[in-house]
Amino acid sequence: MYLFPFLSSSFSVIKGEKNDFAFQLITLYYLVLRFFTAGESHGRGIFVIVDGFPAGVKVDLGYINHLLKLRQGGYGRGGRQKIEQDQADILSGVRSGVTMGSPILIAVWNKDVRDMKASYVPRPGHSDLAGAFKYGIKDTRFISERASARETAGRVAAGALCELLLKNFGIEFISFVVEIGGVRANIPERFDYDEMRRKVEQSELYTPDEEAEKKMKEMIDFARRKKDTLGGIFEVRVRGVPPGLGSHSQWDRKLDGKIAQAVMSIQAIKGVEIGLGFESARRFGSQVHDEIIIENGKIKRTSNRAGGIEGGMSNGCEIIVRAAMKPISTLYSPLRSVNLREMREEPALVDRSDICAVPAASVVGRSAVAIEIAKAFLEKFGGDSLNEIKSNYESFLRQIEEPSSWLE
């Protein structure tokens, strides 16, 4: 019996014949890195399975826990973060601190474990009502417990693993807050990653602009007094990414499309842009596209308005991604809603919540981007072990260093 019966005629590739369509599909689906999360906000914990991760990668548990701690931080967070102290518990796939090539299971155990009281009043802006319609239920806890951003602890753990893999190839990640409540930080076009990382992690709002941070805090305090919430914008940058990750040949293999989908899937994210993004629509083409030159015998760009991706593929420049996060949908001064059981209008549910979670979202966004770049990296240079991937990668680097040897 074939796993894909409708492709059975194409399985001749296994016999050494030319048709490799089915083989390519199976390779793409099964051999590329993937991850799944499970768990609820007030259940026993959040769990993530990372499958397709190569053997031989050293796992720095301290680094994973560092990113988990950053995800919990940020000025404007709610009371839940005082209860939880997230730590990664690696249950499988790692032996003696090194990945085995088998599925990696990580648990982030919850301390605030309880059976939440039923809620029949959906919150505007949350998944409550849409989920109630989808499943035909009135108790929105069945939706909100899984829809909660608590789930992102699993994504951050998976993203940290991907960063540890890509670090072996000189690929680095950084994220920071650009704007909160209309207050925008001054972000330099170019910067030293180590220095920027130091500034960001010393900031309560994960922004390098101290003056802007003061005004952002004032806005958050104002929102707290109003019993309201605030959103903002964060940015993720990645350097050291080689050209050629992703593909131009199919819509669902384009690197920018995958990154945008991954970041857009984060709770409360309403917009994603790469490079100039929406600003590109306001300029002439001559002010948007990055000219190509030769400098000291090497092909280079005069700018990076594309944000490191062209035609669905990385072009070797720094990858720049920005995301807009809406204000948290649970307000202490609730909006109007309805009681689904009584079918009457009532104020929306008031539950423990954050005033602003943009700094935390910046960490989740970084992890989402890391996962997608790791997927694309393994798709191009893949192997069962780190050493095999290194061999493939080094061969590619030798190739791109000599454009004169390329096919006409």
Report yes or no on 386 lying in a domain: no
Helix, strand, coil abundance in the chain, percent, nearest 5: 40, 20, 40
Identify whether 225 is part of a domain. yes
The pLDDT confidence band at residue 7, using thresholds 50, 70 and 90, is very low
Count Cβ atoms within 10 A of the Cβ of residue 50 and give its class: 0-12 exposed, 13-18 middle, 19 or more buried: buried
> How confident is the model at residue 85, as a pLDDT?
85
Once rounded to an integer, what is the mean pLDDT over residues 145-169? 97
User: Which residue did the predictor score with more confidence, 28 or 141?
Assistant: 141
Which one, of 102, 108, 67, 103, lies nearest residue 89 by Cα? 108
For residues 171 and 254, membership in a common domain is answered with: yes
Q: How far apart are CA 253 and CA 376, in angstroms?
A: 9
pLDDT at position 381: 96
- The pLDDT of 70-95, averaged and rounded, is 86
pLDDT band at 31 (very low <50, low <70, confident <90, very high): low
Residues 6+ away with beta carbon under 8 Å from 392: 381, 382, 383
| pLDDT higher than 60, residue 275 | yes
How far apart are the C-alpha atoms of 399 and 396, rounded to whole Å? 5
Same domain, 10 and 64: no
Residues present in the chain in total: 408
Tens of pLDDT, residues 32-62: 899 999 999 999 999 999 999 999 999 999 9
Q: How far apart are CA 377 and CA 166, in angstroms?
A: 8
Higher pLDDT, 82 or 85: 85
Is the model more confident about 1 or about 219? Answer: 219
Q: Is the pLDDT of residue 404 over 70?
A: no
Q: What is the pLDDT of residue 349?
A: 86
- The domain of 151 spans 32-381
- Between the alpha carbon of residue 197 and those of residues 59, 158, 203, 325, 371, the distances in Å are 21, 20, 10, 21, 20
Report d(CA 110, CA 155) in Å as an integer. Answer: 15
Q: In sequence order, what are the beta bridge partners of 174?
A: 237
pLDDT tens figures, 332-355 = 999 999 999 999 999 998 887 899
Whole-prediction pTM: 0.91
- In a domain, residue 392? The reply is no
Nearest to 338 by CA among 171, 124, 149, 173: 124
Average pLDDT over residues 233-241: 99
> Are 16 and 117 members of one domain?
no
Residue 394 lies in a domain: no
- Domain co-membership, 45 together with 139: yes
Judged against a pLDDT cut of 80, whether residue 152 lies above it is answered with yes
Residue with more model confidence, 66 or 403: 66
Q: State residue 255's pLDDT score.
A: 99
pLDDT at site 385: 98
Q: Are residues 367 and 347 in the same domain?
A: yes
- Of 81, 46, 86, whose CA–CA distance to 69 is shortest? 86
Instruction: Enter the DSSP assignment of 9.
Output: G
DSSP category for residue 375:
H
The pLDDT of residue 21: 56
365 falls in which pLDDT band (50, 70, 90)? very high
Write down the pLDDT at residue 315: 97
Instruction: Check whether 14 has a pLDDT greater than 50.
Output: no
pLDDT digits (tens, 9 = 90+) for 300-324: 999 999 999 999 999 999 999 999 9
CB of 273 closer than 8 Å to CB of 256: no
pLDDT of res. 19? 52
The vertex-44 CA angle with 40 and 47, nearest 5°, equals 65
Question: Which residues share a beta bridge with 295?
Answer: 298
| pLDDT one-digit tens code per residue, 205-214 | 999 999 999 9
**182 near 219, Cβ under 8 Å?**
yes
Q: What pLDDT was estimated at residue 6?
A: 38
- pLDDT of res. 388: 97
Evaluate if residue 328 carries a pLDDT over 80. yes
Higher confidence at residue 296 or residue 366?
366
In a domain, 395, yes or no: no
Is there a domain that residue 356 lies in? yes
Q: How many domains does the chain have?
A: 2
Asked if residue 165 and residue 98 are part of one domain, the reply reads yes
Q: Are residues 14 and 49 in the same domain?
A: no
CATH of the domain at 63: 3.60.150.10
Distance CA 301, CA 316 (A): 10
- The answer as to whether 393 is a domain residue is no
- Both 125 and 272 in one domain: the answer is yes
Give the Cα separation of 232 and 218 in Å (integer): 14
Are 15 and 137 part of one and the same domain? Answer: no
Does residue 125 lie in a domain region?
yes
More confident residue, 226 or 402: 226
Q: Which residues contact 212 (CB under 8 A, 6 or more apart)?
A: 183, 184, 185, 186
Backbone torsions φ then ψ of 59, nearest 5 degrees: -100, 115
pLDDT at residue 11, rounded to an integer: 38
Is the domain of 93 the same as that of 6?
Answer: no
Pick from 385, 238, 258, 370: which is nearest to 316 by CA?
Answer: 238
Looking at residue 371, its amino acid is I
* Averaged pLDDT of the chain: 91
pLDDT at 231 over 70: yes
For residue 401, name the pLDDT band (cuts at 50, 70, 90). confident
Q: Answer yes or no: are the C-beta atoms of 26 and 36 closer than 8 Å.
A: no
Q: Are residues 130 and 8 in the same domain?
A: no
Are 314 and 365 members of one domain?
yes
Q: Is the dihedral of CA 345, 124, 215, 363 positive or negative?
A: positive
pLDDT for the residue numbered 43: 92
